[in-house]
Amino acid sequence: MTSARIIGTGSYLPQRVVTNRDLEQQVETSDQWIRERTGIYERRVIGEEECCGDLARIAAQRALEAAGISGDDVDLIVVATCTPDRVFPSLASSLQRDLGIRPGATAFDVSAACSGFIYGLGIADRFVRTGGAERALVVGAEAMTRILDWDDRGTCVLFGDGGGAVLLEAAERPGVLTTHLHSDGRYEPLLYVPWGPGQGYAALGTQSGYIHMRGNEVFKVAVNTLTRIVEETLDAAQVDKTEVDWLVPHQANIRIIQATAKKLDLHMDRVVVTVGEHGNTSAASIPIALDTAVRDGRIQRGELLLFEAFGGGFTWGSALVRY
Ligand code: ACO
């Protein structure tokens, strides 16, 4: 049976580093509070001249190089983002042009907030398995700091910018084994950006364009939901938790990650944690963490990886992948 194998990974973080100490100058917070509650010690902030498409492009370019594949050989581009540069064209179509990917290929963006990469992977996996694409580029890229209120200490300490990408290829060997995508729109009041262009520009005068979050309530639902989805995923694949080699979770908060690892009885040295260095990069966080652990040699070919994510919507999702 055909499956979608990951044949290349790439990631990119913007140059500008903002530390917790820097944020102490901005809002009433402390390095200690941020580290203890979130595990974050610094984040990257996109440059004035940069845009989200740049983060996506560099990450995708690196994934193509890692796989040794040229743009001509890509049939599908899915970019997960909630901070696109334009209403349209999609970041995926811009990426197609910028990377010289074959004209006529399929390209679109996915909006599922922090779960966006898992959604993109799940969609691309279905394309590849059903013969709709031979090779698919799945990118998560976010300029989250563009939608942060830097006076709101409840959110500005949490997020950062970045991009990550994987290239999938149809193969007869196992690759993506199972993906699970969920949403529950009733939770919107806990995590949302009030304004979008559908409301008209006049509404921007009365509505905020920044992230609003009731962090404590988000935290509780996230922990419960992620521990549930781990069971759902392992059951679907008929895999025992002892078989998982690496947990590659969405990087939002070290305490949420630890709770999921505990559910799996997985020692933290089998969990890829990069949140400390870049904060919550939303849809970019899983491919950044994956690429980091692939390039530093922790993740090896043939190992079993579990990805999981939770975010605005609420949305949540998971994937079990034979790397
Ligand atoms: N610095 C110092 N104090 C702060 C800060 C800050 N940056 N932010 C909040 N506080 C204060 C609060 O005002 C509160 O003070 P009070 O007790 O005097 O009222 C106190 O710290 C505790 O606040 P809580 O919200 O209860 O703190 P909590 O332990 O829940 O940590 C946090 C807050 C880090 C936001 C946590 O709830 C969290 O990580 N939630 C998940 C949010 C998240 O990750 N969202 C991203 C999208 S969803 C996802 O990706 C999983």
3-state secondary structure 197-247: HHHCHHHHHCCCCCCEECHHHHHHHHHHHHHHHHHHHHHHHCCCHHHCCEE
- Whether 306 and 162 map to the same domain: the answer is no
| Domain final residue, candidates 173, 207, 234 | 173
Domain count, the chain: 2
How would you write the pLDDT of the chain (323 residues) with one tens digit per residue?
899 999 999 999 999 999 999 999 999 999 999 999 999 999 999 999 999 999 999 999 999 999 999 999 999 999 999 999 999 999 999 999 999 999 999 999 999 999 999 999 999 999 999 999 999 999 999 999 999 999 999 999 999 999 999 999 999 999 999 999 999 999 999 999 999 999 999 999 899 999 999 999 999 999 999 999 999 999 999 999 999 999 999 999 999 999 999 988 999 999 999 999 999 999 999 999 999 999 999 999 999 999 999 999 999 999 999 99
Range of the domain at 110: 3-173
- Whether 11 and 157 map to the same domain: the answer is yes
**Could you tell me if 134 and 74 are in contact, meaning their C-beta atoms sit under 8 angstroms apart?**
no
pLDDT, position 141: 98
| Domain final residue, candidates 173, 189, 223 | 173
- Closest protein CA for atom 10 of ligand 1: 154
- Whether 166 and 197 map to the same domain: the answer is no
- Whether 239 and 290 map to the same domain: the answer is yes
- Whether 160 and 250 map to the same domain: the answer is no
| Domain final residue, candidates 138, 173, 208 | 173
pLDDT, position 263: 87
Q: Please indicate whether residue 156 is annotated as part of the active site.
A: no
User: Which pTM value belongs to this model?
Assistant: 0.97
Q: Please indicate whether residue 182 is annotated as part of the active site.
A: no
- Closest protein CA for atom 48 of ligand 1: 311
- Whether 159 and 183 map to the same domain: the answer is no
- Whether 34 and 163 map to the same domain: the answer is yes
- Whether 153 and 191 map to the same domain: the answer is no
Q: Please indicate whether residue 114 is annotated as part of the active site.
A: yes
- Whether 95 and 133 map to the same domain: the answer is yes
pLDDT, position 200: 95
Question: Which amino acids bring their CB within 6 angstroms of ligand 1?
Answer: 29, 33, 37-38, 114, 153-154, 157-158, 191, 213, 215-216, 218-219, 222, 250, 252-253, 256, 280, 310-311
Which CATH number is 257's domain given?
Answer: 3.40.47.10
- Whether 117 and 81 map to the same domain: the answer is yes
**Could you tell me if 321 and 305 are in contact, meaning their C-beta atoms sit under 8 angstroms apart?**
yes
- Spatial neighbors of 72 by CB under 8 A, at least 6 apart, are 100, 101, 102
- Whether 162 and 210 map to the same domain: the answer is no
**Helix or strand holding residue 116 (H, E):** helix 116-129
pLDDT, position 16: 98
- Whether 168 and 182 map to the same domain: the answer is no
